[in-house]
């Protein structure tokens, strides 16, 4: 009788919002790849559906597991993700100028996506165990070291955007755990200096993205600014209500590149307009709100930090992706959670929601 009683705390609204956004993403991917024979032959939509179904199965399985059990597995999880990331230069496959994936049969796995989830769990466990020493600089520095090693392994792939995401998760969790303000100021200054120090070792295409963003060339044709300009044209041509599903000219005539991944927001904005974009953003904000609500209602610090961490992860990735489409941020490979094409991203995002739901189920003492 105990198990069914805890499921009454299951957040159906969160699940419904995530399911709706996932289904909308699959539909938008179907529209975005229309006419691209290679992507159609690669069963792009079917792959996304399979990862989605597997992700929802894992979501429910993870929800059923008491999230506090993951605390005991922090060290094995940390060692696993370090080993997984370290194997990328040896056995990973390359794409878009970097080696970030493993090929397992017909499935492509991106370890850095899983790293975001596991590092969040490891950090939440460490900070929860040391919550009464969070004002000590040594505690904050040790937590930083937990992130530095995997972030460096991701950085050398090269994958600068994911390395930054890991840093953002760490900073958000340290702040949420109650770190001293002076430590946070010092860390913020260090974070501002990090890009300057890292500049000499960045890849040429990474430098080009930053330079193009800071000093755009309005006369550039098919150069680094091409797709960003096409994205803006797509968003603008959508108007108030859009051109209709599978009717966007920038998308269907393939002026807009990588329209099913990095620039899927622009594709959606062209077909569904300003109103459709607002609905998508509102749905995404609602998902983040429900994660923050779960954090507020968590029965312990560990559960609260898990939910805060995933809320920040989705917020940063989602709004950076949208900002990139609007030319507010430099171009990066960060996906729009639940919406962009990417099996690893979708699967791990649904895994994160399962962990949030696990905290929801156990947000207060279970009645006997």
DSSP state string for 180-243: -HHHHHHHHHHHHHHHHHHGGGS-HHHHHHHHHHHS--TT-SSSTTHHHHHHHHHHHHTTTT-S
Q: What's the pLDDT at 330?
A: 87
Q: What's the pLDDT at 195?
A: 64
Residue 356 near residue 294, CB atoms below 8 Å: yes
> Rounded distance, CA 193 to CA 184, Å?
14
pTM of the model: 0.89
Q: What's the pLDDT at 368?
A: 34
Q: What angle do CA 81, 85, 91 make, to 5 degrees?
A: 130
pLDDT, mean of each 10-residue run, the chain (368 residues): 70 97 96 79 86 96 95 93 83 53 64 92 96 90 92 85 91 90 74 66 67 64 73 92 91 86 94 96 97 94 96 95 92 90 92 96 61
């Amino acid at each position: 009788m105990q198990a069914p009683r805890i499921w009454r705390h299951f957040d159906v609204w969160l699940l419904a919002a995530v399911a709706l956004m996932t289904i909308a993403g699959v539909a938008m991917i179907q529209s975005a790849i229309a006419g691209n024979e290679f992507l159609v032959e690669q069963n792009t939509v079917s792959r996304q559906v399979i990862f989605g179904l597997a992700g929802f199965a894992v979501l429910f399985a993870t929800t059923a597991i008491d999230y506090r059990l993951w605390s005991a597995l922090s060290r094995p999880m940390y060692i696993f993700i370090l080993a997984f990331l370290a194997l990328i230069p040896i056995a990973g496959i390359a794409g878009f100028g970097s080696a970030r994936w493993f090929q397992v049969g017909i499935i492509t796995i991106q370890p850095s996506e899983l790293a975001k989830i596991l590092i969040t769990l490891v950090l939440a466990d460490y900070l929860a165990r040391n919550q009464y020493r969070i004002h000590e600089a040594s505690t904050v520095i040790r937590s930083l070291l937990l992130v530095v090693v995997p972030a460096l392994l991701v950085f050398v792939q090269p994958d600068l955007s994911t390395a930054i995401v890991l840093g953002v998760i760490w900073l958000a969790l340290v702040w949420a755990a109650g770190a001293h303000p002076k430590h946070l100021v010092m860390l913020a200054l260090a974070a501002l200096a990090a890009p300057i120090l890292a500049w000499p070792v960045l890849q040429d295409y990474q430098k080009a993205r930053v330079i193009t963003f800071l000093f755009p060339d309005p006369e550039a044709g098919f150069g680094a600014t091409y797709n960003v300009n096409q994205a803006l044209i797509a968003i603008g041509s959508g108007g108030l209500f859009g051109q209709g599903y599978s009717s966007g000219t920038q998308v269907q005539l393939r002026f807009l590149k990588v329209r099913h991944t990095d620039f899927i927001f622009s594709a959606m904005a062209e077909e569904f307009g300003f109103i459709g974009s607002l609905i998508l953003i509102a749905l995404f904000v609602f998902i983040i709100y429900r994660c923050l609500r779960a954090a507020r209602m968590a029965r312990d610090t560990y559960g609260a930090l898990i939910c805060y961490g995933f809320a920040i992860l989705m917020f940063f990735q989602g709004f950076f992706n949208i900002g990139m489409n609007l030319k507010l941020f430099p171009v990066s490979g960060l996906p729009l959670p639940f919406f962009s094409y990417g099996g690893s991203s979708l699967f791990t995002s649904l895994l994160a929601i399962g962990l949030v739901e696990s905290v929801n189920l156990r947000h207060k003492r279970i009645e006997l």
